[in-house]
């Protein structure tokens, strides 16, 4: 499945008539539509010089958590750790920010530009424990492609 999605991601980032924001919105929409256990897909980015993340484009229900301090929740922890964070069961996490009662699991993969962790892709799933290493490799690919247009 992910091998089929990769050329579609490349097609979006290479679309000259799309703005960067439009490209990122299209990527969120594509992932949320095509991967049945990706129920919410969004990009967070470091908010200027502040030690906080700010929500960028997303697909799925609007969230109240448009600003997340570094260290808080899964997203805030990835902002500091620079490592993928796969959460098979969100209820087992102490440092977790709930966006919807339906969410069972989450994956956050940092986005690097010139070696700097500048943001992340965050995916919430209503399915328990759905993520594998294939998701990690695929989302790393997505972030690399996005980094090229930032």
Query: Smallest distance from the beta carbon of 106 to ligand SME, in angstroms?
Result: 6
Size of the site for ligand SME (CB under 6 A): 15
The residue within the footprint of ligand SME, chosen from 24, 28, 31, 74 (CB under 6 A), is: 74
Spatial separation of the C-alpha atoms in residues 121 and 41, rounded to whole Å: 7
The residue within the footprint of ligand SME, chosen from 45, 52, 54, 65 (CB under 6 A), is: 65
Nearer to ligand SME, 122 or 135 (CB): 122
What Cα–Cα distance (Å) separates residue 96 from each residue in 27, 65, 72, 120?
25, 12, 7, 16
Asked if residue 86 binds ligand SME (CB under 6 A), the reply is no
Query: Smallest distance from the beta carbon of 7 to ligand SME, in angstroms?
Result: 28
Beta strands in 4-147 (DSSP E): 40-46, 52-59, 67-69, 85-87, 105-113, 116-125
Q: Which stretch binds ligand SME (CB under 6 A): 4-12, 16-24, 96-104, 129-137?
A: 96-104
State whether residue 20 is helix, strand or coil.
helix
State whether residue 131 is helix, strand or coil.
coil
Nearer to ligand SME, 49 or 64 (CB): 64
Spatial separation of the C-alpha atoms in residues 69 and 43, rounded to whole Å: 15
Q: Tokens 């943001």 appear where? A: 119
Residues that bind ligand SME (CB under 6 A): 40, 42, 63, 65, 68, 73-76, 96-97, 99, 106, 122, 124
């Amino acid at each position: 499945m992910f091998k089929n999605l990769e050329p579609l991601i490349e097609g979006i980032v290479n679309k000259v008539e799309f703005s960067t924001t439009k490209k990122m919105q299209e990527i969120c929409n594509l992932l949320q539509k095509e991967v049945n256990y990706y129920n919410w897909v969004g990009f967070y980015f470091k908010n200027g010089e502040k030690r906080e993340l700010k929500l960028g484009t997303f697909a799925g229900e609007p969230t109240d958590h448009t600003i997340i301090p570094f260290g808080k929740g899964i997203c805030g922890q990835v902002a500091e750790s620079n490592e993928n964070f796969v959460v098979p069961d969100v209820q087992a996490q102490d440092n977790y920010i709930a966006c919807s009662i339906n969410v069972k699991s989450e994956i956050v993969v940092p986005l690097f530009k010139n070696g700097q962790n500048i943001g992340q892709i965050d995916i919430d799933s209503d399915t328990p424990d759905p993520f594998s290493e294939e998701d990690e490799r695929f989302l790393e690919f997505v972030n690399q492609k996005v980094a090229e247009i930032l």
